[in-house]
Structure 1
Amino acid sequence: MCGRYTLLADELEILTAFDLEQDTIEGYIPSYNIAPGQQVLAIIHDGKQKRAGLLKWGLVPKWAEDEKIGYKMINARSETAHQKPSFKQLMGKKRCLILADSFYEWKQTSDGKQPQRIELENRKVFTFAGLWDKWEHKGKQLFTCTILTKKANTFMQDIHHRMPIILPKHKEDEWIQPVKMEPLVSQQLLESFDEDQLKAYAVHTYVNSAENNDEQCIVPLTS
């Protein structure tokens, strides 16, 4: 799964890296410890252009009666998302990029779970494959998202059995292209992506609390 990550890039760096024509990203604040339920930075294509904005992390499908379902839907398994009622239609037409520059995972050790920070070797800011939806109920409106995950690759298997899907840079626009795809086609597209090189290092359990959000979260753990 993916339950915590970071995004430390400044606004201008993001606008430039993703060729966004907007002048600003309303509400964006860099974070050392992004957690479910928070507003996260994502990019969608509105049919005219790409645009970046905030979505609440934890998908609330448009048919849901209670928004609390979002806390159970922070991730979606890519292997079955094209079949599940909560994700099937979104795979076809509501795909997004969720921006990050690292993510955390907890490795089981003899001393307990040890948090690890995972980054890409060759890219500072990257994107997770995501899905989004708009929810309206009794006058309240939410825009929410979920991160697609897959079975861990060779590198990640030593840390955790699942991992978020990291999109290759040259495939990001294809993932959010403003055309409707058959859900199975979207799923097959995800399977076709090559994997980037990952690197990881241990960090302090300070990061375990989502209330902690400062540089101490990413300081390498020393023995």
Structure 2
Amino acid sequence: MCGRFAVTLPPERFREAYGYEEAPNFPPRYNIAPTQPVGVVLQDGEARRFRLMRWGFLPGWVKDAKDFPLVINARRESITQKPTFRAAIRRRRCVFLADAFYEWQREGDRKVPFAVRMQSLGPMPMAGIWETWSDPQGGEIDTAAIVTTDANGLVSAIHHRMPVILGKAGLATWLDPDTPLDRIGALTDPCPDDWLRLDRVSRRVNKVANDDAGLLEPVTDDKSARGDDEGVRETDAVQADMQEQQQEEEPRQGSLF
């Protein structure tokens, strides 16, 4: 499950890594949460493009977004079969701009946050899918979800799921809309442990309103981890972990707006 991530590197680093034609300028964001706008890369003919999309996937066949649950992740094991995702996985694949994601480890009655980053501290190519949804009035919104897989050995110490993280060759194959599904499956295996580093961080990340570089600073003891919100036990992002069993079910109570 991935319910929070960060985009903190300079925009030029992402453009160099992914080769899209646009030159967007955006500030660092240390605590990106579901339903917020996120930057993604997609393939458009021979060119790669940068797009802003809403983090919360809506398939094109949904008539009323308010009747559809919040879908921020898509499980690799069932992505080709579920009606919600099976059209997008074929030809509308993307990569989320990110250089870290957060995951929570349960310790008794609380959850302790960790930041997962590349060992290089460079861009982290998280695989995604996207869809353009049209409302009854004709308005359109681009929406996206992160594809998840089993945790690798490193991340499994804190959680059983993680985003699909692509290598350089895998990124090009993933973005190519002509890549057949039988080649996509292998790209969604957990990445090698030695690609990543894992750091315990302050529970200040629990609050979406906290958005500063201190959220990614490693902490070494429980006192440091508390930050300024010791009493927080379950927040909206931590509760995203509870949605894992809901994310691929048929529409029911829930709202993206």
Match of 2:24 in 1: 25
Matched, 1:148 2:150: no
| TM-score between both structures, scaled by the size of structure 1 | 0.90
Match of 1:122 in 2: 120
Question: Quick one: distance in 1 between partners of 2:113 and 2:139?
Answer: 36
Unaligned ranges ≥5, structure 1: none
The question of whether the paired residues in 2 share the 8 Å contact of 1:117 and 1:203 is answered with: yes
**TM superposition shift of 1:4:** 0.2
Equivalent pairs, count = 219
The question of whether the paired residues in 2 share the 8 Å contact of 1:25 and 1:53 is answered with: no
**TM superposition shift of 1:104:** 0.3
- Aligned amino acid, residue 109 of structure 1: E
Match of 1:211 in 2: 209
Provide Cα deviations, 1:193-213, integer angstroms capped at 9, x if missing partner.
Answer: 752522111111110011211
Question: Quick one: distance in 2 between partners of 1:70 and 1:8?
Answer: 31
Match of 2:3 in 1: 3
Q: SS at the partner of 1:15?
A: helix
The question of whether the paired residues in 2 share the 8 Å contact of 1:59 and 1:69 is answered with: no
The question of whether the paired residues in 2 share the 8 Å contact of 1:42 and 1:52 is answered with: yes
Cα distance change on mapping 1:122 and 1:208 into 2, 3 Å: same
Question: Quick one: distance in 2 between partners of 1:220 and 1:194?
Answer: 22
| TM-score between both structures, scaled by the size of structure 2 | 0.79
- Alpha carbon RMSD of aligned pairs, Å? 1.9
Match of 1:139 in 2: 138
1:105 to 103, 110, 116: 103
Provide Cα deviations, 1:154-186, integer angstroms capped at 9, x if missing partner.
Answer: 11111001111111122111100131634x543
**TM superposition shift of 1:70:** 6.7
The question of whether the paired residues in 1 share the 8 Å contact of 2:170 and 2:187 is answered with: no
Question: Quick one: distance in 1 between partners of 2:55 and 2:207?
Answer: 17
Match of 2:161 in 1: 162
Report sequence identity in percent.
35
User: Which structure shows the bigger proportion of residues in strand conformation?
Assistant: 1
Cα distance change on mapping 1:71 and 1:199 into 2, 3 Å: farther
